[in-house]
Amino acid sequence: MRRKLVVGNWKLNGSLSENKVLIASLLKNLNTIQTTDFAICVPYTYLFQAQALLTGTNIFWGAQNVSQFRDGAHTSSISAHMIADFDCSFAIIGHSERRALSNESNQKAAKRFARVVNAGITPIYCVGETAEERAEGLAENVVKNQILAITYGLDESTFEYAKQVDMVIAYEPVWAIGNGRTASPQQAQDMHAFIRDLIAKIDADFSKRVRIIYGGSVTPDNALALLSMPDIDGGLIGRCSLIAEEFSQICHLAS
């Protein structure tokens, strides 16, 4: 039985004072739930605050990306080892907004993925097709190539590390992100099952325990139907993660 995981992706939002209020509400609303994992992925500047407020609680924290480099002359970049200093449990990798903004290829996302697992942090590796790709019948092919980049595209020892840190996959159809247009539970389930089958071809045991979470306009209204599907192990939540009541409701539904 896979434990459900609900992750808030704060994106480019927050301030020290707002975060304090939001985190206090989440702690109050979620402190009795022991059966589900929760996390918030915050902007780098708030990792210290998240660490200070969440250490010893049942909410994990993480970052929204890392550099593909370990260190060196890469102005403005942040490495996996730097976020490890703040006890991050998770790092989102390959989010479609990053892929679009910086023209990120699957190979580059895979390098970031490798940095994260080598730092002992759990990557939440995002995959998903655009509306055009789905309309052309290419959705499965696009997702397959994204998954192959972090499986066959990496050396065996990196994939072993990825299993050890319980890597997470987030299926986020690009057409469903941030616009209120969510995938139907069956559409999402079909893609999650497809991803699990792909992973089974590499490691059948691991495919049974890898968590595949869904993201794209998840709200308290649609969360239960999505999270009840057999291969949907949780959610990656954008807009609703900024509203304590809504995020907490989704977490309660997941548990």
List of long-range contacts for 218-225, beta carbons under 8 Å, 24+ apart: 218/182, 218/250, 219/182, 219/246, 219/250, 220/246, 220/249, 220/250, 220/253, 222/182, 223/249, 223/250, 223/253, 223/254, 224/253, 225/185
Looking at 215, 223, 227, 248, which residue binds ligand PGA (CB under 6 A)?
Answer: 215
Looking at 84, 109, 177, 223, which residue binds ligand PGA (CB under 6 A)?
Answer: 177
216 part of the interface to ligand PGA, by CB under 6 A? yes
What DSSP assignment string belongs to 33-69? --SSEEEEE--GGGHHHHHHHHTTSSEEEEES---SS
Q: Taking contact as CB under 6 A, which single stretch among the options 115-123, 157-165, 200-208, 215-223 is the one that binds ligand PGA?
A: 215-223
237 part of the interface to ligand PGA, by CB under 6 A? yes
**Token reading at 137:** 């019948």
Q: Taking contact as CB under 6 A, which single stretch among the options 16-24, 44-52, 105-113, 211-219 is the one that binds ligand PGA?
A: 211-219
Q: Taking contact as CB under 6 A, which single stretch among the options 103-111, 158-166, 236-244, 246-254 is the one that binds ligand PGA?
A: 236-244
Please identify which of the residues 104, 133, 172, 246 carries the catalytic annotation. Answer: 172
Q: How far apart are CA 188 and CA 194, in angstroms?
A: 10
Looking at residue 187, the DSSP 8-state letter turns out to be: H
6 part of the interface to ligand PGA, by CB under 6 A? no
Sequence-ordered list of residues with C-beta below 8 angstroms from that of 139, at least 6 positions apart, any chain: 129, 133, 173, 191
**Which residue lies nearer to ligand PGA by CB, 9 or 65?**
9
**Which residue lies nearer to ligand PGA by CB, 19 or 159?**
19
**Which residue lies nearer to ligand PGA by CB, 178 or 220?**
178
> Letter for the amino acid at 246?
E
> Mask 102-131, x = binds ligand PGA (CB under 6 A)?
------------------------------
> Letter for the amino acid at 125?
Y
Binding residues for ligand PGA, rule CB under 6 A, total 12
5 part of the interface to ligand PGA, by CB under 6 A? no
Q: Taking contact as CB under 6 A, which single stretch among the options 48-56, 63-71, 143-151, 232-240 is the one that binds ligand PGA?
A: 232-240
Separation in Å, CA 75 to CA 69, 78, 208, 237? 11, 9, 40, 30
**Which residue lies nearer to ligand PGA by CB, 162 or 236?**
236
Q: Does the annotation mark 172 as catalytic? A: yes
- Give the binding site for ligand PGA (CB under 6 A): 9, 172, 177-178, 215-218, 236-239
